[in-house]
Amino acid sequence: MVDTPPINELSDRARQLLRTLVESYIREGQPVGSRTLSRTAGLDLSAASIRNIMADLEDMGLVSSPHTSAGRIPTPAGYRLFVDSLLEIKPLDSREVQSLRERLRPDLETKVLVESASGLLSAVTQMAGMVRVPRHEHAELRQIEFMKLSERRVLVILVMNKNEVQNRILELDRDYSAGELQQMANYLNDRVVGRDLVSVRQQLLREMKAVREHMNSLMLAAIELGEQAVAADKDADDVVLAGQFHLLDYAELTSVEKLRQLFEAFTEKREILGLLDKCISAQGVQIFIGQESGHRILDDYSVVTAPYEVGGHVVGVLGVIGPTRMPYDRVIPIVDITARLLGAALNSRS
Amino acid sequence: MVDTPPINELSDRARQLLRTLVESYIREGQPVGSRTLSRTAGLDLSAASIRNIMADLEDMGLVSSPHTSAGRIPTPAGYRLFVDSLLEIKPLDSREVQSLRERLRPDLETKVLVESASGLLSAVTQMAGMVRVPRHEHAELRQIEFMKLSERRVLVILVMNKNEVQNRILELDRDYSAGELQQMANYLNDRVVGRDLVSVRQQLLREMKAVREHMNSLMLAAIELGEQAVAADKDADDVVLAGQFHLLDYAELTSVEKLRQLFEAFTEKREILGLLDKCISAQGVQIFIGQESGHRILDDYSVVTAPYEVGGHVVGVLGVIGPTRMPYDRVIPIVDITARLLGAALNSRS
DNA sequence: GATTAGCACTCTTGCAGGCAGAGTGCTAAA
DNA sequence: TTTAGCACTCTGCCTGCAAGAGTGCTAATC
């Protein structure tokens, strides 16, 4: 005799109860008792019946009580079930969407745009916002220029689109004159402009191998230089964070040390970057509750992410970090929309 | 009869006592009682005598007790006296200096250098580090170039020295051809290279007024463009922070709200910038204890700053923020040396 | 068979009292 | 002038107690 049915056979009543419980706990932050639930769940059951159902939920590992007589709080599994099948997402107010759109204008520089997105996520959700900076592998190179800085240093300017310019300083193995540099740039521009960085690089490597002996040395140098220029994307490993301080609001005073570690991770960024990079291959909004992220530091937090696309390619991920009891019904659409708007803004500028 | 002499007549005994007290409190973080002091102050006095002297110190407002029987802690005035006339600065270990020097290598890009300095301050002191980014008014302009991005957008490249390049995107009022832009750049380069930004700007404004009618319109446009390019230093209002999370270590759990405000200020940066800009005109290390900084947010903290120079001009300020009971004898020389090293690194690259 | 009322039980929270420890201020003696 | 001694005061910690909230179980009810 099985008296605790598998989760997918949860009765409607139990589901409704869990839902009310999670909603209440997210709102109030206090363990929810049977009495409160019997009043608010809209099920017309007495507190005693509620208690029976709650005992079942506890057996299934969906809720737990901090101590004998303190009401129940959702477990990570409870949040998971809630998010997966009980949550009703509120569509965002169209004014809110409009306001977001206005702050992510396509004519902003990429860096400003990314920082705005992160800041918006944080401001709107009152939690920490984060944006993985866009990768450029599929961005078209518009123009490449060299500029001599000193004897063996040259500034490389890569024009990606009308709002984005990257530059890098390269050390050369010998001195090139301004004229030579200009020739090299012309040579490269003829060959690579209009392609994305990946294929530019492939082509350069191919040319370098294939026709090494047939070319004059300047052109060979040009190819090498171009290859170096395209190779090192100095911003590639970056993530822009915002509003970390909001997390202090949710901090239980017990765990200052945990919080410290989290803030240290925010400074280091490596951990956050790892998390975001894992999400880059997924589609749509992803939610990590508690330990699901696989990063110890985030055990007590939830993370909501969404990838954003430019020209049909996912180029980055953004999201928020907040307490496990965050208002998922609001946060999910916010993250979703922000990802779309950021993608759109980056896209409409080529 | 005056039985509490003015501060500058403090007896040697009392001074010695205050010094031991402050040192002990900085080390332990606990109020210091008369018994402890009688053992550690090296004065060969009984606890009872110590108590008499401490009562005098309390009358003078140099120490206070959190409650009736809890020993004394220094007041801000006590710290001030301690820092001004009791503190013996430990010169830094020469290995430490060497290690700092190695991490502030002159061949790094300015931005990297500044971030390193901030990170070092934070890592070495275990508090929050901050660096006001260098102003460029007195930096020599080496070269100026224009590059067309799209119809009315042009990228301006200012080469400052061999490790620093700035660029800005400007909107133009009409379309200029690449050739025209090149001519304009040549015209400007002939005229402004080798001068600092301030005099470049002055000269351009002068020329613009004086010979407006005698010039052809392209040259006038060049001057206007150059003026715009030199005018807007987009990084001018920036400060680089590091290691804010260290402050969580010293946080008394009572004041999470205070801490939150401080972290918010770190994100905003405006307040920090204001503080640092006040210090830019002073010479040498400055110390603000508690409210002395004049910024509410920093009431419970102390700030140690020092300006750094390039070519004889102060171009920025750096410093640390930490608890009032920070180890001043170590922090002061660290801030001092870091300022000198950063200045030296920036200087030796022109 | 499902639901509910009732009751004993458990745990938290807040408050009051008691006690040890640390440190002070004052006074009188050295 | 310095010190010993003593009364005093505060904190921190424990204990006990009562109220409140919530539970689990059982027996009665629909």
* Strand C contact at CB of residue A211, distance < 7 A: no
Measured between alpha carbons, how far is B163 from A195 in angstroms, rounded to an integer? 30
Do B18 and B101 lie in one domain? The reply is: no
Q: Work out how many domains chain A is built from and give that number.
A: 3
Minimal-distance CA residue of chain B relative to A156: B165
Q: Tokens standing for B21?
A: 């007290």
Do A79 and A99 lie in one domain? The reply is: no
Burial of A277 (0-12, 13-18, 19+ CB in 10 A): middle
Q: Tokens standing for A148?
A: 């001599």
Give which of B345, B323, B332 is closest to B305, Cα–Cα: B332
Taking 70 as the pLDDT cut, the residues of chain A under it are: 1-9, 210-216, 232-236, 252-254, 350
Measured between alpha carbons, how far is B83 from B28 in angstroms, rounded to an integer? 18
Q: How many CB pairs under 8 A join A and B?
A: 69
Model confidence at B213: pLDDT above 70: no
- Domain membership of residue B203 (yes or no) is yes
What is the Cα A213 distance to its own chain's centre?
46
- Domain membership of residue B217 (yes or no) is yes
- Domain membership of residue A12 (yes or no) is yes
Do B244 and B344 lie in one domain? The reply is: yes
Q: Are A299 and A278 in contact (CB under 8 A)?
A: no
- The contacts of residue A265 (CB under 8 Å, 6+ apart) are A271, A272, A297
**For residue B169, which phi and psi values (nearest 5 degrees)?**
-100, 125
- Domain membership of residue B111 (yes or no) is yes
What are the C-alpha distances in Å from A119 to residues A112, A129, A267, A275, B255?
10, 6, 16, 19, 25
To test the contact with chain B by mutation, choose from A149, A175, A254 the residue with the greatest count of B C-beta atoms within 10 A, namely: A149
Q: pLDDT tens digits, residue range A176-196?
A: 888 888 888 888 888 888 888
Tell me, what's the pLDDT at B2?
36
Do B245 and B342 lie in one domain? The reply is: yes
How far does chain B reach from its first CA to its final CA, in angstroms?
A: 65
Cβ of A159 and B147 within 8 Å?
Answer: yes
Cβ of A165 and B167 within 8 Å?
Answer: yes
As a whole-number percent, the residues of chain B with pLDDT over 90 amount to 44
A216-245 residues near strand D (Cβ < 7 Å): none
- DSSP string of A7-71, one letter each residue: GGG--HHHHHHHHHHHHHHHHH-S-B-HHHHHHHSSS---HHHHHHHHHHHHHTTSEE-SSTTS-
Q: Is the dihedral of CA A84, A85, A87, A91 positive or negative?
A: positive
Q: Tokens standing for A266?
A: 């925010």
Cβ of A155 and B155 within 8 Å?
Answer: no
* Strand D contact at CB of residue A64, distance < 7 A: no
Nucleotide nearest to B67 (CA to C1'): D10
* Strand C contact at CB of residue B49, distance < 7 A: no
Q: Are A244 and B260 in contact (CB under 8 A)?
A: no
Coil, helix or strand at residue B287:
strand
What stretches of chain B show up as alpha helix (H) in DSSP?
A: 12-28, 34-40, 47-59, 76-81, 94-103, 110-125, 178-192, 197-210, 217-231, 247-250, 256-268, 270-279, 328-347
- Domain membership of residue B244 (yes or no) is yes
- Domain membership of residue B1 (yes or no) is no
Q: Where is average pLDDT lowest: B13-27, B168-182, B220-234, B336-350? A: B220-234
What's the predicted TM-score (pTM) here?
A: 0.88
- The residues in B 126-145 lying below 8 A from A, measured between CB atoms, are 143, 145
Write the Ramachandran bin of B42: left for phi over 0, alpha for psi from -120 to 50, otherwise beta: left
Q: Tokens standing for A247?
A: 């997390």
Q: Tokens standing for B269?
A: 């940066």
* Strand D contact at CB of residue B283, distance < 7 A: no
Fill in the DSSP letter of residue B297: G
What CATH number does the domain containing A30 carry? 1.10.10.10
- Mean pLDDT score across all residues of chain B: 87
Tell me, what's the pLDDT at B212?
63
Q: pLDDT tens digits, residue range A232-287?
A: 666 667 899 999 999 998 876 567 788 899 999 999 999 999 999 999 988 999 99
Give which of A150, A271, A139 is closest to A194, Cα–Cα: A139
* Strand D contact at CB of residue A72, distance < 7 A: yes
Chain A residues with CB-CB distance to B243 below 8 A? 267
Q: pLDDT tens digits, residue range B240-269?
A: 999 999 998 887 656 778 889 999 999 999
What CATH number does the domain containing B205 carry? 3.30.390.60
Do B263 and B306 lie in one domain? The reply is: yes
Structural domain ending residue among the three candidates B230, B246, B279? B230
Fill in the DSSP letter of residue A213: G
Tell me, what's the pLDDT at A2?
35
Q: Which amino acid is at A172?
A: L
Residues belonging to chain A:
350
Q: How confident is the model at residue B325 (pLDDT cuts 50, 70, 90)?
A: very high
What CATH number does the domain containing B309 carry? 3.30.450.40
Between A287 and B6, whose confidence is greater? A287
Minimal-distance CA residue of chain B relative to A108: B169
Do B275 and B313 lie in one domain? The reply is: yes
Minimal-distance CA residue of chain A relative to B350: A150
Structural domain ending residue among the three candidates B230, B256, B285? B230
Tell me, what's the pLDDT at B42?
79
Q: Is A1 on the interface with B (CB under 8 A)?
A: no
Nucleotide nearest to B46 (CA to C1'): D3
Structural domain ending residue among the three candidates A195, A230, A265? A230
Question: Which nucleotides of strand D lie within 7 A of protein CB?
Answer: 2-5, 8-11, 20-26
Q: Which amino acid is at B182?
A: Q
Distance in Å, alpha carbon of B148 to nearest chain A alpha carbon: 10
Do A115 and A169 lie in one domain? The reply is: no
Do A161 and A286 lie in one domain? The reply is: no
Minimal-distance CA residue of chain A relative to B165: A155
Do A245 and A329 lie in one domain? The reply is: yes
- Domain membership of residue B2 (yes or no) is no
Mean local confidence (pLDDT), B173-179: 85
Q: Where is average pLDDT lowest: B200-204, B218-222, B273-277? A: B218-222
Cβ of B165 and A149 within 8 Å?
Answer: yes
Tell me, what's the pLDDT at A215?
60
Chain A residues with CB-CB distance to B266 below 8 A? 245
Fill in the DSSP letter of residue A349: T
Tell me, what's the pLDDT at B215?
60
Do B165 and B73 lie in one domain? The reply is: no
Distance in Å, alpha carbon of B164 to nearest chain A alpha carbon: 9
Do A170 and A131 lie in one domain? The reply is: no
- Domain containing B78 equals 7-86
- Domain membership of residue B46 (yes or no) is yes
* Strand C contact at CB of residue B150, distance < 7 A: no
Burial of B334 (0-12, 13-18, 19+ CB in 10 A): buried
Give which of A158, A148, A110 is closest to A132, Cα–Cα: A110
* Strand C contact at CB of residue A45, distance < 7 A: yes
Residue among B165, B243, B245 whose CB faces A155 most closely: B165
Distance in Å, alpha carbon of B59 to nearest chain A alpha carbon: 36
Do A262 and A309 lie in one domain? The reply is: yes
Q: pLDDT tens digits, residue range B115-151?
A: 999 999 999 999 999 999 998 877 888 888 888 888 8
